[in-house]
A and B are shown apart, each in its own frame.
Chain A
Amino acid sequence: MKYKKLNNYAFPDKEGRFGEFGGKYVSETLITALEELEKVYVKVKKDKSFQKEVIKDLNDFVGRPSPLYFAERWTKKLGGAKIYLKREDLNHTGAHKINNTVGQVLLAKKMGKKRVIAETGAGQHGVATATVSARHGLECIIFMGEEDIERQALNVYRMKLLGAEVCSVDSGTKTLKDAMNEAMRDWVTNVEDTHYIIGSVAGPHPYPEIVRDFNSIVGKELKIQSKKEFGKYPDIIVACVGGGSNAMGIFYPFIKETKTKLVGVEAGGSGVKSGKHAAPLSDGKVGVLHGMKTYLMQDKNGQILSTHSVSAGLDYPGVGPEHAYLRDIGRVEYQSATDQQALKSFHDLTKTEGIMPALETSHALAYVNKIAPKLSKSKTIVINLSGRGDKDMFTVAKEDGMTL
């Protein structure tokens, strides 16, 4: 452990890097747009009136702060550490994704952009982007893989109701990574009037920083809530990791609080050993994709491998560069949960607590399901309950052999 370094933790650096990870690996045409975004962001980060505007929308439009909830019955059932849930599922639109889009849409307006685009996997980021676009009267185009459009039909319709245009992407694996390719293609073509709202702590600099900062409201609130609720910071914080935005949001304010253990849970699919998964931090190699250097699922020729996960939101072959760095320095521990483990936890939480979690979130729950019974009752675990599971009912029903 190189924890000594953490007191000066200040990433990304001037080059937009987290150690060797991150950077700006994009075509020349996009460099100017990224530099403009960086310039504006550096300015608004210090601009009190801008920050006030963000906070106002987070409070009145999103419904923050989200509660810290003690999962009493589930805790009893597992018979070990006390389990708390940070209820991001109660946000407007049902997930943490709105924390980022509320901020980025204000950035877009600041830059005078009239049109926003976004990629989406599960549809949560697409819905969150369509929502803030409606709220501010901006044109909104969402790119979504053909396969995801099929498994997330409800969210597709929601986006359309909100006035967004949903573009079906039928290239490559027809999922999140291909939606991101297509969004990049649109951005390079319409770079002058369009802001690309990336939905995860991924992509070229300054996106990993921007998305982390807007989501870190989750960790900041938790610091206050945990002190109030149980008089100290949590012993363990657990979050699921696809691109990694909900995890960075809750981890970031705790990076220097080294008494708190941080655990990210990737999508293990049919099991990491099976090769059918979406867990680049557990079983990937360093490479470059979507503007960033990070861990990727790839073959020996550098071709990106197709991924598998029951949850569309984790079905991504890469991961945010800050996670890659936090993994390498050992500050965050990365685990994985399989489809089956996640599905079981989905049912457990629904029946035990009356809270239906998103399938993405269910991966974090599955890990806690495994470790909580082994820990003493004096320990506290906080799970970032990043989203609600309404959107997943068709998938779960299908897995359970039912037709709705």
Chain B
Amino acid sequence: MTRLEKVFNQKETKNKVLVTYTVAGDPNLGSSKKILNDLIASGADILEIGVPFSDPMSEGPVIQKAHERALKKNIQFKDILNLCKQIRIKNKNVPIILMGYMNSFLSLKNKLAKELNQAGVDGVIVVDLPYDESKSFFNNLKKESIDLIRLISPTTDSKRLKRMLASSSGYLYYVSLKGITGAELKNFNEVKNKVKKIKSQTNLPVVVGFGIKDAPTAKKMASFSDGIVVGTKIIDFIEKKSTPKISNFTKSLKKAIN
């Protein structure tokens, strides 16, 4: 059983999964490592670690600035892999997912899957790699048992979803809104209906992300999904130099969804 499968198997005990997103190297590598370990200690079940990119097209202003802060520290892909290794040494169970843009992953060429595996990474999310373009990338990752986590959006129709599900693994990430990270989430019922539809077509777990900024929203979203992703709000604490507040915030989310 993979680490991701183990985490989602808690479903039997009806526990919902808390996924956190932070950017590697924000505000610097040392703090980044400490923040990630604190997140695990406060209840994060899966770590999504952002790979900073010069042109983060799907991000709102808060996460854009996180990418810029990390790049100012001149963070390299090998630093990110090292960071993952260090997390993995301390914690054998928490799934680590790298989330980023295609050009960053391409920079490792054919060594990518192997390097990810050696660093203890469980899966990747590539924001600008839709299903249509992902065949060879998916197959290469598969060789090293790295999951390619698919993003599903409000505009994905059921025919397309069916095709996507045929080559999906790990879990599915439902993007709750048409927009960028950190945007305002308006229509709960629409999200609920869409997630229900997806779940009727697959056994893979579905987590909901984008626009979840507080415990009450997290609770609502978790009520019909397998878990939630929170990113912007955590990074907001980093931007405001109040990282000590992250722990309590994370604990409050964990409590709210279960």
Contacts and interface: CB of A to CB of B under 8 A. Distances in A.
Interface of A: 15, 23-33, 171-172, 177-178, 181, 184-185, 188-192, 287-291, 296, 298, 300-304
Contacts of B12: none
B109 to A, nearest CB: 10
B104 A302 contact: yes
A189 B133 contact: no
A288 B106 contact: yes
Interface in B142-179: 150-157, 160, 175, 178-179
Contact of A25 (B68, B107, B129, B180): B129
Contact of B179 (A26, A172, A189): A189
Given A23-B133, A25-B130, A301 B104 contact: yes
By size class, the interface of chain B is: 35 or more
B234 to A, nearest CB: 21
A92 to B, nearest CB: 32
Given A31-B155, A288-B103, A303 B53 contact: yes
Say whether chain A's binding surface is mostly helix, strand, loop, or mixed.
Answer: mixed
Nearest to B156: A28
A289 B53 CA distance: 11
Contacts of B55: 172, 177-178, 181, 289-290, 304
B62 interface: no
A33 B130 CA distance: 13
Most buried by A among B102, B103, B104, B127: B103
Contacts, number: 107
B115 to A, nearest CB: 13
Contacts of A289: 55, 103
Interface string B186-229: 00000000000000000000000000000000000000000000
A185 B180 contact: yes
Contacts of B249: none
Contacts of A23: 133
Contact of A287 (B103, B129, B175): B103
A185 B57 contact: yes
A27 B151 contact: yes
Most buried by B among A23, A288, A296: A288
A301 B77 contact: yes
Contacts of A287: 103, 106-107
Contact of B58 (A27, A31, A171, A302): A27
Contacts of A192: 178
A25 B180 CA distance: 16
Given A29-B153, A303-B54, A24 B130 contact: yes
B15 interface: no
B71 interface: yes
B107 A29 contact: no
Nearest to B164: A28
Contacts of A184: 57
Contacts of B157: 32
B128 interface: yes
Nearest to A36: B155
A287 B57 CA distance: 15
B103 A33 contact: no
B64 interface: yes
28 contacts: A23-B133, A27-B57, A27-B58, A27-B130, A27-B151, A27-B175, A28-B151, A28-B175, A29-B178, A31-B132, A31-B160, A32-B156, A32-B157, A171-B64, A171-B68, A172-B55, A181-B56, A185-B60, A188-B178, A189-B180, A190-B178, A191-B155, A291-B128, A301-B104, A302-B77, A302-B105, A302-B106, A303-B71
Given A24-B130, A28-B156, A191-B155, A302 B107 contact: yes
Contacts of A296: 103
A28 B102 contact: no
B185 interface: no
Most buried by B among A171, A184, A190: A171
B58 A188 contact: yes
B130 A28 contact: yes
B130 A301 contact: no
Given A32-B157, A171-B68, A302-B103, 4 more contacts: A24-B132, A25-B130, A27-B58, A172-B68
